[in-house]
Every structure is written in structure tokens, then in C-alpha cells.
């Protein structure tokens, strides 16, 4: 029998027994989970040393899994803070755990960072001459097995990639939450992981805007030089184009962030044109619309009811195609002067999955200090957060309704 010394499952509301694959019997409510041992020493290669199988009787509840993909420094953490706030709680690192953990836990959600599945640490990547974006620097087998286990109600010992030391730290226990968010570079890269996602989002930040944000954070807040920021973006670009960017074709929703078109030639990245691209026909998700579903509409809300200074605000909505898929696109170019007046815009949007009139505006005002609160990035992140809450409620209510239906039949 293989021994899972490094990364194993832990039982939740259940008893677990370890057996060899040959002896495993999968009965009703039994879950089979395969784990791989790997080295976590400096320069660890992450090579598997044989699977072991753990069978567990999992609890009844199933975890809803959300994938959020984006390059580093593209607003994933900010989005996550908005999302967890929609569910009504503050997200915190696991109590009493590794202070450098990348995980954030709230009442309803657990956000895990896929950097934790780097199979090569910083030294290992340097030695092999690969970036963290390269699939060879990541353990997709382990990612798949662990996300699958959590989704089916089984807790796992997930590795930790320590961004301070650049090493792989000892694992931390992740119990199945109501909603698991896997955020990072590759949530939609591996087909097996992709198939586990109940909903997926890609944050598509254009090069000009990414550069402006990097300068703002890494130069102003972290003391990096302009040259080093340019060099780091350039060094990542080939792998970003090869492995990260192509994932957007799989996403159910894409938030695309571009320079404004309201100021000709503007490249500053301060005023933004943001597009919310929503796939049609996704189960439990109906795209947001402006005025009239399926029409094509341009709208300038500035005037008596919405204060706008230069260069103003322009909305656009309509059907389109994206990588061959039918989509609806809602676009906002420009920025709000007064967030409390956002209610005027909110009242013209439909299918936003609010629980009361003005909920989007309330959320935006609550986090007015978050980056992007005065433009489409904050607005669309908030709306996607509400759509995820709605999706979660639909999935869980259809699960509880199912046995009743069966009894009736
Ligand atoms: N909507 C936004 N508008 C303006 N700036 C933004 C926006 N979102 C993010 N930024 C800038 O980008 C920085 C990184 O944002 P955030 O920490 O949310 O990204 P991240 O993808 O989680 O980054 P990392 O992966 O490097 O931790 C912020 O500090 C801010 O400077
Ligand atoms: O892309 C990244 C995270 O999204 C990082 O570059 C990657 O995780 C490597 O981290 P570090 O620079 O701390 O070694």
C-alpha cells in the first residue's frame, strides 16, 4: 500500500480508510481520491512518487467551484474581496496556520491560490529556466485531484507556495467550503480541472493598463525601478501569451479592461473602458442587460441624474460572438464622479441578481476605497459577485429540490 505522507485527504463528517487501488470499492456516497507524494525541498521537481487511494464517505453537501484566472497584478485579490463581501463576511487566512498562507477563508467561501500548485520553487524554476506561468512548473495532477476531492466533500492537505521565501512550505488543511474559488494563473488550463468548475471568470487586462497598474503598485508601493517593471513584463509575455491568455476562450464571463476611447490617444490607464463579456447558455447564469435584452444599445447617462466631468461616461450593450460563442457584452467607458448616483445606472440594468433595490450601489459604496470603484472594473466585479451568489443559490436549491421531485415521481 502506498503511504501518503506529504499530501493526503482528511475526513469531513466521515471516516476515511486508505487502500490500494485494487482493493478500493466505490459504493454509494463513497469517494475515491488519488493523491501523489512529492518532494517539497528546495528546487523540488514535484515529480510524483506513485499514487495512493483514499476512500471516504463524504458529507451530503457539495462544494460549488468557481475559477478566476488572470495574470499576476491584474486585480484578482480585489475581485475576491468584493466577492466575499457579497456573501457577507470578511475573508481571513487560516487561523493559527502558516503566516505566509495564500488562502482566504470566510463563512461561505474559501479562496485558494493556484500558485500553491507550483511544482518547482523559485530556485527550481531558475535552474530549469522556466517561469511560473509554464505548465512544467505546476502540478496539474495534484491540482485536479485536490479540487475534485474538495468538490465532493473531502478535505485535503494542500501545499503552500511561499511568496516570501520562494519555497514550497508544508501543506495546510483545506476543508470543503460552500463555495471554493480557485484563483491564479491556470484555473482553466487543464481540461480535468476546467470540467470541475461551476463557473469561470477571466480578468483580461490589456498590456497598456497592466503596465500602468504595475507601475502604480510596484514602483510607487514596492520601490521597483521602471526598467525592472518593463523587464519583468517582457520576460513573462511569451509564456503569458502561450499559456494564460488562451484560457479566456473557456471563461463564462470575461472582464476586459482597455484604455478609454473617450480621450483620443490616451494610454495612461487612468480612465478605462471595461467590457463584461457574458457567455449565453451557461447553466444557472443569465447575462445582465441594459434596457432591452438582445438589442444593441448605446447610452450616455450623464445629464440631470448623473454628474459626469470630462471625459464623461458611455455605456454600450448588445449581442456578439467571442471565440465562436454567442455572448452578450455590457461595456462602460469612463468613470463615476459620485458613487451615490450609481443607483441611477443600476436602475437601468436588468438581471443583476440583487436581493433588494440598490444592492450594487450599496456594495460599491461599502468598498469605495478598493481600486476600480469609480469605474467599470469595480461595477462589473460587483455584478459578477452577485451573479455567483445567485448561481450558488440555484445550484444548492436544485440539489435540495431533486430528492423531493424523485419522491413525487
Ligand atoms: N480596478 C483597478 N483599477 C486600478 N488599479 C487596479 C485595479 N485592480 C487592481 N489594480 C492595481 O493592481 C494592483 C494589484 O491588484 P490585486 O492585488 O487585486 O491583483 P492580484 O491579481 O491579486 O495581484 P497578485 O497576483 O500580484 O497578488 C493593485 O494594488 C492596484 O494598484
Ligand atoms: O505569477 C505569479 C503569481 O501569480 C508569480 O510570479 C509566481 O507565483 C512566482 O512567485 P514569486 O515571484 O513569488 O516566486
Residue in 69, 181, 217, 218 to alter for ligand 1 test, most ligand atoms within 8 A of Cβ: 217
Q: Are 371 and 90 in contact (CB under 8 A)?
A: no
* Residue from 338, 372, 383 nearest 213 by CA: 372
Average pLDDT (84-112) is 93
Instruction: From 283, 349, 358, 364, select the one nearest 316 (Cα to Cα).
Output: 349
Rounded distance from Cα 116 to ligand 2 centre (Å):
10
Say if residue 266's pLDDT is above 70: yes
Q: What is the pLDDT of residue 40?
A: 40
Residues in the chain: 409
Please say if the pLDDT value at position 404 is more than 60: no
Task: Retrieve residue 34's grid coordinates.
Answer: 488519488
Ligand closest to CA 219: 1
CA-nearest of 127, 88, 94, 134 to 113 is 94
For cell 471625459, the residue is 311
Nearest CA to ligand 2 atom 9: 132
Residue nearest to atom 13 of ligand 1 (CA): 73
Residue spans of beta strands (DSSP E) within 98-252:
104-105, 109-113, 155-161, 168-174, 179-184, 199-205
Model confidence at 25, pLDDT cuts 50, 70, 90, reads very low
Ligand 2 atom 10, closest CA: 163
Nearest of 229, 116, 213, 219 to residue 170 by alpha carbon: 116
* Chain segment 287-297, per-residue pLDDT in tens: 999 999 999 99
Q: Minimum mean pLDDT among 150-154, 353-357, 398-402: which range?
A: 398-402
How far, in Å, is the centroid of ligand 2 from the Cα of 194? 21
How many Å lie between the centroid of ligand 1 and the Cα of residue 247?
A: 20
Of 119, 57, 89, the closest CA to residue 385 belongs to 89
Residues with CB under 6 A from ligand 2: 72, 115, 122, 132, 163, 166, 184-185
**8 Å CB contact between 202 and 76:** no
With a 6 A CB cut-off, is 70 part of the ligand 1 pocket? yes
Q: Please report the pLDDT score of residue 267 as a whole number.
A: 74
CA of 132 to the centre of ligand 2 (A): 6
Q: How far apart are CA 55 and CA 58, in angstroms?
A: 9
**Could you give the percent of the chain with pLDDT greater than 70?**
83
Cross-strand pairs, 316? 298, 331
Secondary structure (3-state) at 135: helix
- Per the DSSP assignment, residues forming a β-bridge with 158 are 172
**Ligand 1 centre from 396 Cα, in Å?**
32
CA 133 to chain centre: 16
Q: How confident is the model at residue 224 (pLDDT cuts 50, 70, 90)?
A: confident
Would you tell me the crossing angle of helices 207-214 and 226-239 to the nearest 10 degrees?
Answer: 140
- 28-53 pLDDT tens trace: 223 444 444 444 433 444 433 333 34
Q: In the chain, what are the domains?
A: 61-206 (3.40.50.300), 252-395 (no CATH)
- Could you tell me if 277 and 292 are in contact, meaning their C-beta atoms sit under 8 angstroms apart? no
Q: How far is Cα 6 from Cα 145, in angstroms, rounded to an integer?
A: 14
Q: Which atom of ligand 2 is nearest to the CA of 133?
A: 1
Instruction: Identify whether the C-beta of residue 36 lies closer than 8 Å to the C-beta of residue 142.
Output: yes
| C-alpha cell read off for 74 | 491584474
CB 202 within 8 A of CB 70: yes
Q: Is 261 in the pocket of ligand 1 (CB under 6 A)?
A: no
Rounded to whole angstroms, how far apart are CA atoms 327 and 280?
5
pLDDT digits (tens, 9 = 90+) for 297-344: 999 999 888 999 999 999 999 999 999 999 999 999 999 999 999 999
Q: Is the CB of 392 under 6 A from ligand 1?
A: no
Q: What is the pTM of this model?
A: 0.87
Residue with cell 514550497: 168
For residue range 228-252, list pLDDT tens digits in order.
Answer: 888 888 889 999 999 999 999 999 9
Amino acid at each position: 500500500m502506498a503511504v501518503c505522507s506529504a499530501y493526503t485527504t482528511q475526513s469531513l463528517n466521515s471516516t476515511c480508510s486508505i487502500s490500494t487501488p485494487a482493493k478500493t470499492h466505490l459504493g454509494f456516497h463513497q469517494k475515491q481520491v488519488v493523491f501523489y507524494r512529492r518532494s517539497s525541498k528546495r528546487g523540488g521537481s514535484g515529480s510524483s512518487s506513485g499514487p495512493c487511494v483514499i476512500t471516504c464517505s463524504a458529507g451530503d453537501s457539495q462544494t460549488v467551484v468557481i475559477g478566476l484566472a488572470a495574470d499576476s497584478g491584474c486585480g484578482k485579490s480585489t475581485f475576491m474581496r468584493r466577492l466575499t463581501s457579497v456573501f457577507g463576511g470578511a475573508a481571513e487566512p487560516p487561523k493559527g496556520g502558516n503566516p505566509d498562507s495564500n488562502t482566504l477563508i470566510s463563512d461561505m467561501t474559501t479562496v485558494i491560490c493556484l500558485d500553491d500548485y507550483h511544482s518547482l520553487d523559485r530556485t527550481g524554476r531558475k535552474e530549469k529556466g522556466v517561469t511560473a506561468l509554464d505548465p512544467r512548473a505546476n502540478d496539474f495532477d495534484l491540482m485536479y485531484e485536490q479540487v475534485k476531492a474538495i468538490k465532493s466533500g473531502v478535505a485535503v492537505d494542500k501545499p503552500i507556495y511561499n511568496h516570501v521565501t520562494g519555497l514550497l512550505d508544508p501543506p495546510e488543511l483545506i476543508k470543503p467550503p460552500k463555495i471554493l474559488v480557485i484563483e491564479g494563473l491556470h484555473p482553466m488550463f487543464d481540461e480535468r480541472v476546467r470540467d470541475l468548475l461551476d463557473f469561470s471568470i477571466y480578468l483580461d487586462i490589456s498590456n497598456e493598463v497592466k503596465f500602468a497598474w504595475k507601475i502604480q503598485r510596484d514602483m510607487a508601493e514596492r520601490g521597483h525601478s521602471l526598467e525592472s517593471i518593463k523587464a519583468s513584463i517582457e520576460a513573462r509575455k511569451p509564456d503569458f501569451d502561450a499559456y494564460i491568455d488562451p484560457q479566456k476562450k473557456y471563461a463564462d464571463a470575461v472582464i476586459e479592461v482597455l484604455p478609454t476611447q473617450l480621450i483620443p490617444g490616451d494610454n495612461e490607464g487612468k480612465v478605462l473602458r471595461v467590457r463584461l463579456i457574458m457567455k449565453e447558455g451557461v447553466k444557472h447564469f443569465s447575462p445582465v442587460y441594459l434596457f432591452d435584452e438582445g438589442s444593441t444599445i448605446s447610452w450616455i447617462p450623464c445629464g440631470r441624474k448623473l454628474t459626469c466631468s470630462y471625459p464623461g461616461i458611455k455605456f454600450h450593450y448588445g449581442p456578439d460572438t467571442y471565440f465562436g460563442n454567442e455572448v452578450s457584452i455590457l461595456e462602460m467607458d469612463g468613470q463615476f464622479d459620485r458613487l451615490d448616483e450609481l443607483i441611477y445606472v443600476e436602475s437601468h440594468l436588468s438581471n443583476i441578481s440583487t436581493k433588494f433595490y440598490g444592492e450594487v450601489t450599496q456594495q460599491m459604496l461599502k468598498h469605495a476605497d478598493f481600486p476600480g470603484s469609480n469605474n467599470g472594473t469595480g461595477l462589473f466585479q460587483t455584478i459578477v459577485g452577485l451573479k455567483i451568489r445567485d448561481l450558488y443559490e440555484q445550484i444548492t436549491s436544485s440539489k435540495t429540490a431533486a430528492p423531493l421531485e424523485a419522491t413525487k415521481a
